[in-house]
Amino acid sequence: MRRIWAGLALALLAWIPAGATDASAVLAVPRQRIETADFRAEGHLVRVLPGGERVNSSITIKGHWFPGVLRLMVEIGQPQDAHRDMREHVLLEMRSNGQNTIRVAHPGDPASIALPFEKWSDSPIGSGFSYEDFMEPQYFWPGQAVAAGGKVAGRDCDLLTSTPGAAERSHYSEIKTWLDRSIGFPVYVEKTLKGTGTVKEFTNYGIRHDGGVWSAHQLEVKIRGQAGSTLLIIDRGSAKAKLGLGDFSPEQLTRFQDRK
């Protein structure tokens, strides 16, 4: 039955004309993608410095939707040439009611700690991609508007503008998402930070269909007006990982393999 509804949602999304304003129809597919998530992905983060130098870290991401909550486990490896152990595990829990949480652990920690909201906009690798960016809460925010987005990277897109309500904890005042009209997958995203108005640009490359799920091979994050960027590159993974609660347990969060 779930596959039938997903198919109907995709068909409806493909039918929406360029000037469509029905946000609920446009939101159906990305919400369905989140609410059926069960994946494991391995790859690496690349911080591209203004001078062109690249700093690499391995990354593993596991995600599964449990009743009412998306749990994400992010394991960030040691950056190359770092002189101290900078490995980190992050557990993110995203709920449709906006009551999201983030916990972090480092090698040697007896237990994880809750990351204060003011640090959600920090980056585990120094710039660009923040803790909050691992989640996609904008699809559940109360403020939603849809307009024609034109073509982005050769794809016909709907432009979804999402704004958080009073209950949502976010460092963004607005998120604009250009969704491929035929598959409902984000091609390009702009996130505006509260207070400063700084815009972060997210571009998905190598969009592909695997195991019945759409995903991207690479995500690039840039801060508008600044040199450098951050790349999240996925090398391998599974769209149907058959994960359970044990994969997101406190023990898993504080378990680090010995460094080689």
Phi-psi region at 254: left, alpha or beta (left = phi > 0; alpha = psi -120 to 50): alpha
Question: Is residue 258 in a domain?
Answer: no
Three-state DSSP class for residue 210 = strand
Question: Is residue 259 in a domain?
Answer: no
Question: Is residue 220 in a domain?
Answer: yes
pLDDT of residue 259: 61
Question: Is residue 161 in a domain?
Answer: yes
Question: Are the C-beta atoms of 144 and 160 separated by less than 8 Å?
Answer: yes
Question: Is residue 260 in a domain?
Answer: no
Considering just the CA atoms, what is the radius of gyration of the chain in Å? 18
CATH number, domain containing residue 228: 2.50.20.10
Which residue segment(s) compose the domain that 102 sits in? 2-253
Question: Are the C-beta atoms of 213 and 33 separated by less than 8 Å?
Answer: yes
Question: Is residue 8 in a domain?
Answer: yes
Q: Which residue's structure tokens are 């991401």?
A: 61
What is the pTM for the complete model shown?
0.87
How far is the CA of 126 from the CAs of 92, 112, 131, 178, 242, in angstroms? 19, 21, 11, 27, 32
Task: Return contacts of 155-158, CB within 8 angstroms, 24+ apart.
Answer: 155/180, 155/181, 155/182, 155/187, 156/18, 156/180, 156/181, 156/182, 157/181, 157/187, 157/188, 158/16, 158/20, 158/26
Three-state DSSP class for residue 169 = coil
Tens of pLDDT, residue by residue, the chain (260 residues): 444 334 434 443 433 333 345 899 999 999 999 999 999 999 999 999 999 899 899 999 999 999 999 999 999 998 877 778 889 999 999 998 889 999 999 999 999 999 999 999 998 876 688 999 999 999 999 999 999 889 999 999 999 999 999 889 999 999 999 999 999 999 999 999 999 999 999 999 999 998 788 999 999 999 999 999 999 999 999 999 999 999 999 999 999 987 64
Question: Is residue 37 in a domain?
Answer: yes
Total number of domains in the chain: 1
- CA gap 202, 185 in Å, rounded: 13
Question: Is residue 214 in a domain?
Answer: yes
pLDDT of residue 81: 72
pLDDT of residue 252: 95
